Amino acid sequence: MALIKCLDCGKDVSTEAAACPHCGRPVKTPGQIDRVKKYDTVVSSGQSALRALLTLDGGATIAFLTFIGHLWDKGTLSSESSHLFVAALQMFIYGTLLAVLAYGTIFLTNCLSSVEWHRSANAMFSVTVLLGFTSVGCFLAASWRAVEGLQAATKLI
């Protein structure tokens, strides 16, 4: 049996006690501790997913910009394909911006959770998920436009 300090009165309390015998404050149960660990795991996984999404969108933007520059230097960029490439580039940039915003909103979700504003934290989490999925949608739409641009460009070559 271990002793911990009560968070309200500061006196020693057994970890096996349901509540502090001095002030009545409930002692954390192992289930509550596991819930905190689960929350930390979810937050860590969410941040990793957003980091991967940001890397995917940002990397695609840079690679695509390099590719367009290469076509420009070779003089093989037609009017038709350039419009498609610009549209694709815009979508990659929007996807990157949405991933950055999602990364910011997951931080706000954590802040709101830490002060136990559960309704606000849940709403902010919903915004984070929506931004993440929209970012994936932008990536897919940009990829589709890029393929159309490549098809238009290869007709000229």
107 vs 42: CA distance, rounded Å? 13
Number of independent structural domains in the chain: 1
Residue 136, in any domain of the structure:
yes
Residue 18 included in any domain: no
Q: Which domain holds residue 97?
A: 29-156
Per the domain annotation, does 106 fall within a domain? Answer: yes
Q: What is the pLDDT of residues 68-116, one digit of tens each?
A: 888 888 877 777 778 888 888 889 889 889 988 888 888 888 788 777 7
DSSP 18: S
pLDDT given at position 29: 59
Please report whether residue 21 resides in a domain. no
Q: What distance in Å separates the CA atoms of residue 121 and residue 110, rounded to the nearest whole number? A: 7
Asked if residue 83 belongs to a domain, the reply is: yes
Let me know if residue 24 belongs to a domain: no
